[in-house]
Amino acid sequence: MRAVELARPGERLSVLCLGAHSDDIEIGAGATLLSMQERGVRLDVRWCVLSGEEQRESEARASASDFLSGAERAVIEIMAFRDSFFPEQGDAIKSWFMTLKERVDPDLIFTHRRGDAHQDHRQVCRLTWNTFRDHCILEYEIPKWDGDIGQPNLYVPVSARAMKRKVDLLISHFGSQRSKQWFDADTFLGLARLRGMECRAPERYAEAFEGRKLTIG
């Protein structure tokens, strides 16, 4: 299988990361971002969390800062849309997306998977595609009790060190989520190992995405 690089060491890559909730980006694409920084890619990141208030806002900001500590530039935005009610807030969230489009023109966008069982995640995905019609968009996966893990078509092998750091940061930063049965190191490492097996990742781990519309030059 021939690998395609998103960016080589020393190259600049502007990335828009979109997450409905405070830990979504980290779970879905955290090791990918950490591995890019390890390889010397000059990341310019806009990190947007749509639902984060009080404790979850503090967790989101601290976590994003650590995940992007090696980025060349990072802008973190935490919004306060009501958790679990994104479809009912469609007009307001759509308006926010339109203002976002005026501020950023990224090379790459990470967003939720279209088939995700969580209604907030699906709304973010729908508005991502509705707003950014001429961009490279990769949809990440979030494991959960719903059993909605899909069949990805794009893999990013990550280093074992980046995967370990991803898990350590998730567990240390998101105290509000540690009571959930699925939120533990075994879940995150297990999924990454499975995806790593599927793409024969050199260091055994990978994150997987759905790339619905891609152009290769």
Q: Torsion angle, CA of 104/150/158/133, rounded to 10 degrees? A: -20
Query: How many of the other CB atoms lie within 10 Å of CB of 217?
Result: 2
According to the model, what pLDDT value does residue 202 have?
97
According to the model, what pLDDT value does residue 169 have?
98
According to the model, what pLDDT value does residue 55 have?
87
What integer is the mean pLDDT of 35-40? Answer: 98
What is this structure's pTM?
A: 0.97
Residue 178 has pLDDT above 90, yes or no: no
According to the model, what pLDDT value does residue 141 have?
98
Distance CA 135, CA 54 (A): 33
According to the model, what pLDDT value does residue 97 have?
98
Task: Write down the domain spans for the chain.
Answer: 12-210
Residue 1 has pLDDT above 80, yes or no: no
Distance CA 86, CA 62 (A): 24
According to the model, what pLDDT value does residue 216 have?
83
pLDDT tens, position by position, 114-131: 999 999 999 999 999 999
Distance CA 45, CA 160 (A): 23
Q: What is the CATH number of domain 12-210?
A: 3.40.50.10320
**Residue 190, Cα to own-chain centre: how many angstroms?**
18
Backbone φ and ψ for 205, nearest 5 degrees, come out as -120, 150
Q: Distances in Å between the alpha carbon of 78 and those of 26, 70, 119? A: 14, 20, 19
Burial 86-118 (b: 16+ CB within 10 A, else e): beebeeebeebbeebeeebebebbbbbbeebeb
pLDDT tens, position by position, 95-120: 999 999 999 999 999 999 999 999 99
